[in-house]
Amino acid sequence: MPRYFPHMLSLALTLLLVPALPPCAQAQVIKSGPSSCPGVALTFDLCPVRKGAGYDQDLIDYLIEQKIPATFFMSGKWMAKHDQQVQALLQVPFFEIGTHGEVHAHLPLHSADEQKQEILGPVRLLKTKYHHDATLFRPPYGEFNDDTVDVARTLGLQFILWNVVSGDPDPTITAIQIEDRLKRTVRKGSVIVMHANGKGRHTHEVVQDLQEHLLPERRLTPMTMSDLLACKQAVP
């Protein structure tokens, strides 16, 4: 079984306890863009970390230098410790900012009201402190239940997951292994999940390989999440 989040065992136990979502709720969860769209979304989670800077400056610098569109999902706890980085990311015109829960909680283990507060935390912070309206939401660990979907819909948030797992937080895999995985799975409309909080030791290297080799070879264009969903192809 491929390794990804350190809490995969917890996720597996949670999924056993949470009933399967009905088709109507599943339709609200976005995992990819149109399969006819010649673009991919490079998405980066900014989860809180216990050690380290919590920010991959080299990765961000590369994205800016190469003018690569990207979407970042920030947790409230992460934002509270990275004010300068939040402001810097918001100023890049080809970056898009979404939210990732307040403290990176396991949402299905909480009531609907508790989930609402967890989801609203960073949305409010972005609005009140940074004057930014966040419309994209990604649940921590990719975990959710019916309540999560309903709360996000009530709040007017687009519920964003992914269909391509980079596995970049796993300290046991190499850049080549990640790149090989992406070669097998990336296609038109893909949403790739990665990390910009320093947890991915090879994320910068992998993104550089995507930009210089894999995407050009497949005639794919990096896009923000919203542009991918609208299938707005970048102008060469």
Which sequence spans correspond to the domains of the chain? 30-230
Residue 12 class from Cβ within 10 Å (0-12 exposed, 13-18 middle, 19+ buried)? exposed
Question: How far apart are the C-alpha atoms of 29 and 20, rounded to whole Å?
Answer: 13
Question: How far apart are the C-alpha atoms of 204 and 10, rounded to whole Å?
Answer: 28
Give the residues across from 223 on adjacent strands: 41
- 236 residues of the chain, pLDDT tens digit each: 344 444 433 333 333 333 333 433 333 899 999 999 999 999 999 999 988 899 999 999 999 999 999 999 999 999 999 999 999 999 999 999 999 999 999 999 999 999 999 999 999 999 999 999 999 999 999 999 999 999 999 999 999 999 999 999 999 999 999 999 999 999 999 999 999 999 999 999 999 999 999 999 999 999 999 999 998 544 44
Cβ–Cβ contacts within 10 Å for residue 27, how many?
Answer: 10
Contact 76, 105 (CB under 8 A): no
| CATH superfamily membership of 30-230 | Glycoside hydrolase/deacetylase (3.20.20.370)
pTM greater than 0.85: yes
